[in-house]
């Protein structure tokens, strides 16, 4: 009879392990719209092919992102939520995200929503440097999106406890609102 030795190797994952983030890609606003017209003596055409393009690369320059946070969320009727961009979020890999500046954010709403959702206007600690006033709100209609990016040295600075909260509000009093929110920036 042969004797078979079996060795079991165990792999343990340490809590709080650090994942090295590398974020690359492009942020583009490319509508690809052609406008044709004609008059009594001539015809004309104008094309909008690209409004803005930003290539994300590196980790320490004006084109870099070191953290990306994505949330697919739902708000109950007349509900709202606050996102603390400095202390209370985890990325898709479970790593803490503490933004020092935001360079990109987008909100995309479901076409099935009954009403727009509002972005901004947090009661306290509102992220204000992307709007004129802490009470300012951008209404994002159902089935549409709001995109904002600032690929420069400043971006939108996040100050812990002072200017770090982004509010989202459902304007429908009768049904839930579904949306996706994407935020990229530096820690």
Q: What pLDDT, in 10s, does the model give residues 8-23?
A: 333 334 444 555 567 7
- Full-model pTM: 0.78
Q: What share of the chain is helix, strand, coil (3-state, %, to 5)?
A: 0, 45, 55
Per-residue confidence (pLDDT) for residue 59, from 0 to 100: 65
Tell me: pLDDT of 174 over 50: yes
Place of tokens 């479970």: 94
- Give the integer Cα–Cα distance in Å for 17 and 37: 60
- Give the integer Cα–Cα distance in Å for 109 and 113: 7
Q: Which of 1-5, 42-46, 76-80 has the lowest mean pLDDT?
A: 1-5
Strands 89-90, 101-109: pairing is: unpaired
Q: Which of 28-37, 92-101, 109-118, 120-129 has the lowest mean pLDDT?
A: 28-37
Quote the percentage of the chain above a pLDDT of 90.
37
> Does the domain made of 61-186 have the CATH classification 2.60.120.10?
yes
Radius of gyration of the chain (CA): 22
């Amino acid at each position: 009879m042969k004797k078979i030795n079996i060795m079991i190797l165990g792999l343990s994952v340490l809590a709080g392990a650090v994942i090295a983030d590398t974020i690359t890609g492009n942020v583009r606003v490319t509508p690809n719209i052609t406008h044709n017209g004609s008059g009594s003596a001539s015809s004309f055409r104008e094309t909008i092919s690209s409004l803005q393009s930003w290539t994300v690369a590196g980790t320490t320059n004006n084109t870099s992102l070191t953290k990306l946070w994505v949330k697919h969320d739902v708000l109950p009727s007349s509900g709202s939520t606050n996102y603390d961009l400095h202390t209370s979020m985890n990325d898709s890999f479970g790593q803490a995200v503490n933004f020092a500046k935001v360079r990109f954010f987008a909100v995309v709403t479901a076409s099935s929503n009954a009403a727009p959702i509002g972005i901004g206007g947090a009661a306290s600690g509102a992220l204000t440097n992307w709007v004129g006033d802490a009470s300012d709100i951008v209404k994002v209609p159902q089935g549409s999106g709001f995109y904002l990016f600032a690929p420069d040295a400043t971006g939108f600075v996040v100050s812990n406890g002072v200017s770090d909260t982004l509010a989202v509000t459902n304007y429908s009093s009768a049904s839930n609102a579904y949306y996706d929110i994407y935020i990229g920036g530096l820690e």
